[in-house]
Amino acid sequence: MIYLDYAATTPMLDVSIEAYGIAAKEVYGNTSSLHDAGGKAAFLLEKSRDAIAEKLGVNRDGVIFTGGGTEGNILAILSLARAGQGKHVITSSAEHTSVHAAMNTLEREGYEITRLPLTEQGTIDVDLLEKTVRPDTVLISIQHVNSEIGSIQPVAEIAKVAQKYNIPYHVDCVQSFCKLDIKSFSKHVDAITVSAHKIGGPKGCGAVYLNPRRRILPLFPGVTHERGLRGGTVDTPAIFAFATSVEHYKYDINKFWKLRYQLKEAIQKTNCYFIESDEAHQLPSIYGLCMKGAEGQYVMLRLNEEGICISTGSACDINSKSGTKAILAMGRSLSEARTFFRISFGMDTTEEEIEQLGNALIKIDQEIKNMK
């Protein structure tokens, strides 16, 4: 099997599996207990918090451990928006499903949501964003890297707009954490969401940074864990494994650009084409593609028959019949969106695997042509 769906999830690193096992066996106390077993667990929890905060370049007191990226996004958006004095929120049409879920919740509570489109390059128009700011805008939530096409949003520029009008800014960094430099903007935003399983850590574990200086209305009032923002006994083994992944995960950007060029060269004579941004705004390990004349789901299933695992977009949108949100947000047609499929590389992806992928896509493309 050739696994090329790393944007959906990654295999756990061996060191993270080992770390999880050690913590589960030896550090089993409740971090809130006052005895020595609890103190040992609390120490490991706080060391892990330090590791996440250091990688993000933020105040450790703002790092809250969650059950993953989805929970982190919803917790950050609802907590910040409800703490504001207005009823207007700005986001994009191409955010992760969890962000849209939070926005839909706010709409039911009477908030007005402005969902910005993407440009033809798959990025946000910052001037358009600023024009949508209103006196009652209480939150901006725009991702760092799009999970479907890998476009990199101008977060630093968006942060300047947010600071200009003193609006909290939440950034979904699930796809960019440990891959791109988040420290370049982390001190200028108010909330950041990250997830463990995208970088070789365990599923069901993540973190959200919430600026301690911002007023926050807890989603679950009265809970005691994680600064009263996220209730329940923390999963110390998973958090320790997450911190271990942060310290050991390697993203070789030059390798991924090389593999990207290799695939482009291999399929240049097919009816496949890339949905992408310019190189300055593109994460090279995520590929959005379309094959003329073929549904994206058909390509995915045929590649699966060839022993190659890809996806038709975000795994959280697998039941959607409308195609990828990113393409639609870029102004592409629904029929074109349905031809979309996503390939994403990881640290173990090889040139030989890309050669096999290229050959398989050529084969499928020829099959489609022969059907006509």
Q: How many helices (H) and strands (E) does the chain have?
A: 13, 12
* Pairing between β-strand 88-92 and β-strand 137-141 as defined by DSSP bridges: parallel
Helix/strand/coil for 122: coil
| Catalytically annotated residue among 173, 178, 205, 316 | 316
Burial 146-168 (b: 16+ CB within 10 A, else e): bbbbbbbbbbeebbebbeeeebb
**Sign of the CA dihedral running 305, 311, 315, 321:** negative
What's the CA gap between 10 and 185, in Å, rounded? 26
The 8-class DSSP code of residue 119 comes to -
Angle among Cα 28, 32, 38 to the nearest 5 degrees reads 40
Residue 346 backbone dihedrals phi, psi, to 5 degrees: -135, 180
Helix/strand/coil for 82: helix
Q: Is 316 a catalytic residue?
A: yes
Angle among Cα 85, 91, 94 to the nearest 5 degrees reads 160
Helix axes 351-371, 253-266, angle to 10 degrees: 30
- Measured in whole angstroms, the distance separating CA 86 from the mean position of its chain's CA atoms is 27
Angle among Cα 237, 178, 173 to the nearest 5 degrees reads 90
What's the CA gap between 80 and 293, in Å, rounded? 44
The answer to whether the CB of 65 falls within 8 A of the CB of 230 is yes
What's the CA gap between 62 and 226, in Å, rounded? 10
Closest CA to 92 of 127, 136, 129, 135: 129
Catalytic residues: 316
